[in-house]
Structure 1
Amino acid sequence: MDPNILGKKYDNIAQWWHTQHHGSHYGIAQLERALGFRADGGKALDVGCGAGGRFIRILENKNYSVQGLDVSAEMIKIARQNHPQQPFIHTDINEWESSEAFDFIVAWDSLFHLPFHMHTPVLKKLCGKLNPQGVLIYSFGDDYGEHTDQWHNDTFYYSSIGIQENCQTLLTMGLSIMHLELDQFPENHVYVIAQRRD
């Protein structure tokens, strides 16, 4: 799916998303597990940050400065209202470039919207943006390939390179896999925590 089209789809549900997830506990235990692999503080990147909320607040409480990225202009607008002290960028992770490196990167329920052929390049990009001892947590589907699904009376695109290729890419990029879990079994939702050990 063209990221611009995906952004507009999320524009249409941005306020609903904010209401549903601003105070939710979804993904919190997983995020806190990842944060436990390094000392508090530093620079964090939230890829597919949505409207901000629970993840940003936890990172702030752990003394991180947080940069958020999202393809939805409406999500970014709400995130800026929620967290005026943090920078949020309306951009496509496929095209995003930065000279900054980060101590903690989270991409929760966002990379599974990538065009299939962009999974490995984007994952390598994120791995390359980690400082030494930096931690990456992200989620993906365990089914290899592409599909579409209906949600909020609209069609959304999903894809994944599967567990094996995700792990191989992380290892190739010099990261150690600290935790991998099918955390919503029997749904095919996987999250992984990896750390740059050099």
Structure 2
Amino acid sequence: MGEPIARHLIDAGFRVTGVDIAQAMIDLCRQRFPGQAWFQADMRHLDLGRRFDGLIAWDSFFHLTRDDQRAMFPIFARHVVLGGCLLFTTGPTDGEVIGEVFGDPLFHASLAADEYRQLLDRNGFAVVSHVVEDPDCGFHTVWCARKCRDI
């Protein structure tokens, strides 16, 4: 819905391009933040035809299956400029769980930290920071990586 991350970036003067699979979320972002670029798309098949200084997959990436997560790293690499950053959240440990949001079941999956590191490296990223259940970020497990080489 663009809150709080897109709002923070827009308020700081950045242009934002947002993607969500849910059209209702895109419609809400268009209402809240006209003048920004919002696309309804499945991240697993994303090809925007351009690269960005930063890419954020916050509270989204870990809803994919583990195989789909593995397949996302070349997609991330195609969309980030050399020197750009990738910021994403995962679960704290390797595995799959079914959580709950508003009483509805919600799938979560994560790979082992070593596998994320290997996937990042294989796709031209160097880990800048990885914090498991960061209390300063609502106990999210956060990864930040910089694109250090094109593959």
- The TM-score with structure 2 as length reference comes to 0.88
In proportion to residue count, which structure has more strand? 2
Give SS of 2:72's match.
helix
69, 79, 86: which one aligns with 1:119: 69
Counterpart in the other structure of 2:91? 141
Q: Give the distance between the partners of 1:101 and 1:53, measured in 2 at CA.
A: 23
Which runs of 4 or more aligned residues in structure 1 lie more than 6 Å from their structure 2 counterparts after TM superposition? none
Aligned Cα root-mean-square deviation (Å): 1.9
1:150 lines up with 2:96 in the alignment? no
Please give the per-residue CA displacement for 1:116-170, whole angstroms capped at 9, x wherever unaligned. Answer: 2100111221123211110111010122122212221111111111211111111
Give SS of 1:148's match.
strand
1:192 lines up with 2:151 in the alignment? no
Give the deviation of 1:70 after TM superposition: 0.8
Give the deviation of 1:60 after TM superposition: 2.0
Alignment of 1:139-178 (within 5 A): 139-178=89-128
Cα–Cα, structure 1 residues 90 and 155, in superposed 2: closer, same or farther, change >3 Å? same
Alignment of 1:37-186 (within 5 A): 51-182=1-132, 183-184=134-135
Cα–Cα, structure 1 residues 196 and 156, in superposed 2: closer, same or farther, change >3 Å? same
Q: Which moved more, 1:83-92 or 1:124-133?
A: 124-133
Give % identity.
Answer: 24
Q: Give the distance between the partners of 2:24 and 2:7, measured in 1 at CA.
A: 19
Give the deviation of 1:80 after TM superposition: 0.5
Unaligned runs of 5+ in 2: none
Q: Give the total of aligned pairs.
A: 147
- The TM-score with structure 1 as length reference comes to 0.68
8 Å contact from structure 1 (residues 105, 135) kept in 2: yes
Give SS of 2:53's match.
strand
Unaligned runs of 5+ in 1: 1-50
Q: Which moved more, 1:155-164 or 1:60-69?
A: 60-69
Q: Give the distance between the partners of 2:83 and 2:145, measured in 1 at CA.
A: 10
8 Å contact from structure 1 (residues 184, 190) kept in 2: no
8 Å contact from structure 1 (residues 72, 90) kept in 2: yes
